[in-house]
Chains A and B, each alone.
Chain A
Amino acid sequence: MATTIFQRPESMSDTVTHYCPGCTHGVIHRLVAESLDELGLRERAAGVAPVGCSVLAYNYFTIDFLEAAHGRAPAFATGLKRTRPELIVFTYQGDGDLASIGTNEILHAANRGEKITVIFVNNAIYGMTGGQMAPTTLPGQVTTTSPMGRDVELAGWPIRMRELLSTLRTPAYIARGSAHSPQWIVRTKKYIKKAFEYQANDTCFSLVEVLSTCPTNWGMTPNESTKWLADNMIPYYPLGELKTPEEEDANVKRMISNP
């Protein structure tokens, strides 16, 4: 008798996505969908799509989905979660959406401890609009608005959102995973599922940053892209869980003991 060992999650729709070859959105969508299924949250879930390549994310999930204005998903999610706390509300945002136009919204949603889950897809570039520099673009990285490579004198250094948000005092779960290798896809799935568990238990704000490839705008093949991510992004954006709600505020303790 045949046993199903792998299938499309119930929370994902049976449709062909529009994403580029080698784009990791498809993988990350699946990790979110599997987590929702495994935790039995599909019927309570509401996703908030960003402006970016994943603006059409609602076509790929079988849950209630909403479209927010660029960067505003965390504020949108706050409004939705505060009016219907029984919903499992998550945002799915790219680096322009979250780290550029939306920094104020994500900072304050995290700081207020909104019980939402944020999936932050970091591919160091603006995908949908054709490859411009993002706040997460690496020094020297060539983009259409940094044609000579990102100059830190002009544009500053890339922003590490996992680290930035982890300095906040309010308890949260904040982790960075990656979708470039099977091993890290499995680990990132654990982070994402854990994030949704925290929301299901009404514990805290949760955010999982996922390093991703963008072969089209990086000007590489999918295989070259995963290698580039491993060699260049991971050293600057270290992987792992940085903040969990259980531990005491390590940053504040450190600051107090070493003024």
Chain B
Amino acid sequence: MIRNKTLIVFSFIFFTSTILEGSTIVIKNATIFDGIEDSSYLGHILIDDGFIKKVSKSSMVQGDRVIDVKGKIVTPGFIAPDTEIGIVEIGALSVTRDDESNIYDIGFSIHSAFNPNSTLIPWNRSNGITSAITLPRNTSSPIGGLGSFFLLDSKMNINSNADMVLIGRLGASGSSSRAENLSLMEDILSFGLSLNKKDIASDITIDEIIENSSIASYLDLKARDVKVLYRLFDEDLPLIIKSHRASDILNLISLKKKYDLNLVIMGAQEASLVIDDIAKNDVPLIINPINNIPNSFDELASNINLAQRLEKAGIAMMFNVSRDHNYHLIRQGAGVAVANGLSYGSAIKALTSNVAKVFNIENRGSIKVGNYADIVVWEDDPLEPSSIPERVFINGIETDLTTRSTRLRDRYTKDLNKPNTYRN
């Protein structure tokens, strides 16, 4: 079978690339969507010691290993900005979930729970996602929970950027008014803004600060929580607030202005109703471009053309998906957005450089000299979910594209004369 050959070729490449680590690779004759330019160009990429050393339109680039991709599309590795990769293995199985804390709210970090052996990593990587931001589940606090950035290279020595984003939410709760939610959010922010370096010098000073703050004592904040609130302002940490309703978005923009927040709004199904305010205040959005369902009374304006309208207004966007595990389907969402008017170049940026920019992920998200070589060679159009990567490089190293899923497939389509449990 043809598949057999491909597998052998793949494993061979993986093997050799491991040996040649540190030597140079040239990806030749690539149709490059670099994540910066709107359109593609034919070029050649030199990878040296994990980094992009040269991107050239002239074919004079030399390297130890030359891979002629014959005009295939090459993009930066896609970055999924909203995932549970590494902290949830099976959704409905609580013993495989590490996305919740019973003690911490604001300062809850999932970073140490990350499992580099999760099956979600090879699965999403083989579909073109080379890195991801993993977020905890919502906490009971309107602001609470830290997300981390992870490379999906399956290394036990985790390559990550820990606790680089704080999350929160604003909207219908079903039990109390969103006004309460917003007031609480503002009280927390105001407490955070009041903190100075001396306040967080030691656990003793933090305890004093908590005691002297009615909101901090009411919320029973811990030292971790307080430190994170200090970081929010001191480091201008990105703050992702999940919110949909147009009026909530406006309230969040007011908070952004008042507290000078590095605000990102996620969901934003009603963004089209307040699009000028979002644009004027430079609020990047994480949207699910395929979601046109008025799934709640906060999302009545859900419309399939949102991405196209954000592009016109000049708003930076990134994509997420509503279902778990298949985070690579942000590609399908991007394809649907393009079918409904978004430009192709903007779609690629939404999957790559926009995420890197908004979340300060340095030297990733675009194909340019000096960046890490997170690069995907696509068999066909990456926005067609029916097409998959042929090669995936992370930090300049070609990764294996085998997944548990392809193993199971092969087990039930090959060597059928053997009993199934005795097959590969």
B is bound to A: no
Chain B positions within 8 Å of A, measured between CB atoms, are none
